[in-house]
Amino acid sequence: MRWLALVIGAVLIVIAFVASGRVADTQQGMVSEVITLFAGLGGVSLVLYAWVSGARPRPAGLPTPGVKATVQIRSATELLAGAVGLVIAVALIAGVALSAGGLWVIVALVLLLPMTLGSAYLCVRFFRAPKREWKIDLRQLTRLR
């Protein structure tokens, strides 16, 4: 089911990109713009669903097994993901600043705030961990759960 959602989402994103080339200041252009917006929204929603749908919360009624509190070792994969996220955020904000101007930078900062905070959190969590492992495992970043 997740793969089907991923494929349909990717197809809808492609449809959005194709329809965006036909947007004009006519009635047909407005229809293409609506198709672009809905296809993009649906495609991104399905891709995100396929990406995160494997995580299942533990039911509240079940007792937790007796697990000792252990120190979790943080890998450099978290540092890599956080640093790449920060670089992408800076590049996007710089692109908005160069192309759209100062007021749009504020909008970009607000829209990218969750991404920036999450990426910074990954970096800080890595450096504050008592045990760090300087190993980067790219499979950890790319596997579907």
pLDDT (tens digit, 9 = 90+) per residue, 25-65? 777 777 777 778 888 888 888 777 777 766 555 566 655 56
**What angle do helix axes 102-128 and 76-99 make, rounded to 10 degrees?**
170
Instruction: Name the band, by pLDDT with cuts 50, 70 and 90, for residue 20.
Output: confident
Amino acid at 41: L
Q: What is the CA radius of gyration of the chain?
A: 20
* pLDDT for the residue numbered 52: 72
Residue/partner pairs of 137-141 with CB below 8 Å, 24 or more apart: 137/75, 137/77, 138/77, 140/75, 140/77, 141/77, 141/80, 141/81
pLDDT (tens digit, 9 = 90+) per residue, 109-145? 888 888 899 889 888 888 887 777 777 776 766 665 4
Measure the CA–CA gap between 3 and 92, rounded to whole angstroms. Answer: 29
The tokens describing 80, both together, are 């890599």
Within 13 Å, how many C-alpha atoms sit on residue 26's CB side? 5
